[in-house]
């Protein structure tokens, strides 16, 4: 039986990198059936809304979406589509692998880690933000629940277990923010006991940032609350050479959405300069999630091989002389040869 997935091509360079990605998925015979849905600017033009109900229904029915970058028009009262999707489907886990690839400008080689960020509570509550004292005092609530902490920490351990990873590091500030961060750490310690085969480490966030910069190879899976996770996942992307190769997943109980971390890059739209790798790596994460780890690995290995050997085929952002299409050609050839 084939697996149906919802596909949002997205805005700007979205359609170009999605076409390249789907060509590689097809070459791998993943048995996926694509149901194309509208969202973003294209949806706004066609349906008068950034996310039509029909699109939400399709994601709800299929449970899996691969999403190109979406533009939220600025200053017209629209709230971010990505945030809307996250809220609608309660996508509590933001999962961002940071893996070194050849040919990237970065400080370290051989980094291979994943940050798992809690995505629904912490310091990022839509209510819980208040200006008082005639606008002279800003108040932001930090809310951490046992349930929210349990599910994110459990997700991190399951991810480690299912992917042969050895260690989970819980990052916190429990020494100062004793209530919320303290609760998160307590829960992490409890859940860790259920996974004796996986090493558990706890680290205070300021030290974790220093350690990341000085000795990033000690990290494997990092799990943390919303604000720390937001900052640390971009720090990790920077460690491996920036957002060009950074995929991400937003995962809930009933739905999961896989995407590139970068935006719609309207400055290079239609020029065939867009690097499809971040979206392809998101597709690889999706294949892992669907239990097709070998196919996911084939994509990652293919990207590595092409970056190493076919500089003429890769896009200029990676120092190559090729285009989105030649990059896809090379990857298709590479994954078929294996």
Footprint of Mg ion (CB under 5 A): 263
- Which residue's CB is nearer to ligand ATP, number 244 or number 296? 244
Three-state DSSP state, 97: strand
- Number of residues near ligand ATP (by CB under 6 A): 16
Q: Estimate the crossing angle of helix 277-289 against helix 14-27, to 10 degrees.
A: 50
Determine the distance from the C-alpha atom of residue 275 to the mean position of all C-alpha atoms in its chain, rounded to a whole number: 16
CB of 53 to ligand ATP, least distance (A): 24
User: Taking Cα atoms as reference points, which of 223, 248, 227, 225 lies closest to residue 237?
Assistant: 248
Return the residue of 274, 286, 299, 307 that touches ligand ATP, per CB under 6 A: 274
Backbone region of residue 48 per phi and psi (left: phi > 0; alpha: psi in -120 to 50; beta: other values): left
How many whole angstroms separate alpha carbon 203 and alpha carbon 186?
A: 13
Tell me which residues in 226-245 interact with ligand ATP (CB under 6 A): 244
Contact present, 159 and 116 (Cβ < 8 Å): yes
Whether 34 sits among the annotated catalytic residues: the reply is no
CB of 258 to ligand ATP, least distance (A): 15
Taking CB under 6 A as the binding criterion, the range among 120-128, 151-159, 201-209, 268-276 that sits at the site for ligand ATP is 268-276
User: Taking Cα atoms as reference points, which of 110, 90, 242 lies closest to residue 155?
Assistant: 90
- Signed CA dihedral, 199, 286, 266, 17: sign only: positive
Q: Estimate the crossing angle of helix 324-337 against helix 293-309, to 10 degrees.
A: 120
Given ligand ATP, Mg ion, none, residue 268, with its beta carbon under 5 to 8 Å by kind, binds: ligand ATP
Given Mg ion, ligand ATP, none, residue 267, with its beta carbon under 5 to 8 Å by kind, binds: ligand ATP
Q: Does 268 bind ligand ATP (CB under 6 A)?
A: yes
Q: Which residues contact residue 50 at a Cβ distance below 8 angstroms, ignoring those fewer than 6 apart?
A: 39, 40, 41, 43, 44, 70, 72, 78, 81, 84
Choosing from 92, 124, 220, 305, the catalytic residue is 124
Q: Does 262 bind ligand ATP (CB under 6 A)?
A: yes
Whether 230 sits among the annotated catalytic residues: the reply is yes
CB of 290 to ligand ATP, least distance (A): 24
Whether 112 sits among the annotated catalytic residues: the reply is no
User: Taking Cα atoms as reference points, which of 123, 110, 293 lies closest to residue 219?
Assistant: 110
Return the residue of 71, 149, 233, 326 that touches ligand ATP, per CB under 6 A: 71
Return the residue matching tokens 């002389």.
321
Choosing from 230, 288, 295, 305, the catalytic residue is 230
Choosing from 234, 317, 325, 329, the catalytic residue is 234
Residue with the shortest CB distance to ligand ATP? 263
CB of 283 to Mg ion, least distance (A): 21
Return residues touching ligand ATP (CB under 6 A).
13, 17, 69, 71, 244, 262-268, 274-275, 278, 317
């Amino acid at each position: 039986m084939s697996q149906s997935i919802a596909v949002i091509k997205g805005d700007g360079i979205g359609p170009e990198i999605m076409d390249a990605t789907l060509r590689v998925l097809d070459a791998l015979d993943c048995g996926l059936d694509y149901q194309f849905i509208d969202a973003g600017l294209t949806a706004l033009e066609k349906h008068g809304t950034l996310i039509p109900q029909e699109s939400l229904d399709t994601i709800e029915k299929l449970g899996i979406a691969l999403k190109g970058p979406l533009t939220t028009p600025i200053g017209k009262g629209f709230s971010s589509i990505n945030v809307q999707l996250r809220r609608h489907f309660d996508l509590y886990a933001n999962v961002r692998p940071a893996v070194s690839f050849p040919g990237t400008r970065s400080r370290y080689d051989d980094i291979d880690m994943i940050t798992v960020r809690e995505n629904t509570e912490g310091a990022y509550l839509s209510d819980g933000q208040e200006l008082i004292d005639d606008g002279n005092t800003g108040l932001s609530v930090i809310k951490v629940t046992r349930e929210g902490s349990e599910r994110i920490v459990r997700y991190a351990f399951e991810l480690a277990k299912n992917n042969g990873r050895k260690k989970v590091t819980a990052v916190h500030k429990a020494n100062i923010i004793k209530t919320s961060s303290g609760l998160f750490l307590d829960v992490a310690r409890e859940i860790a006991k259920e996974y004796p085969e996986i090493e558990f480490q706890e680290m205070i966030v300021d030290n974790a940032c220093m350690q990341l910069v000085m000795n990033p190879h000690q990290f494997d899976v990092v799990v943390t609350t919303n604000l720390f996770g937001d900052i640390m996942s971009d720090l990790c992307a920077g460690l491996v050479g920036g957002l060009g190769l950074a995929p991400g997943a937003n995962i809930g109980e009933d739905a999961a959405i896989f995407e590139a971390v970068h935006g719609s890059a309207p400055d290079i739209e239609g020029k065939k300069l867009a690097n499809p790798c971040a979206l392809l790596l998101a597709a690889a994460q999706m294949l892992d999630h669907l239990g097709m780890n070998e196919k996911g690995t084939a994509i990652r290995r293919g990207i590595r091989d092409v970056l190493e050997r076919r500089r003429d085929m890769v896009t200029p952002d990676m120092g190559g002389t090729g285009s989105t299409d030649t990059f896809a050609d090379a990857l298709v050839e590479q994954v078929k040869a294996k």
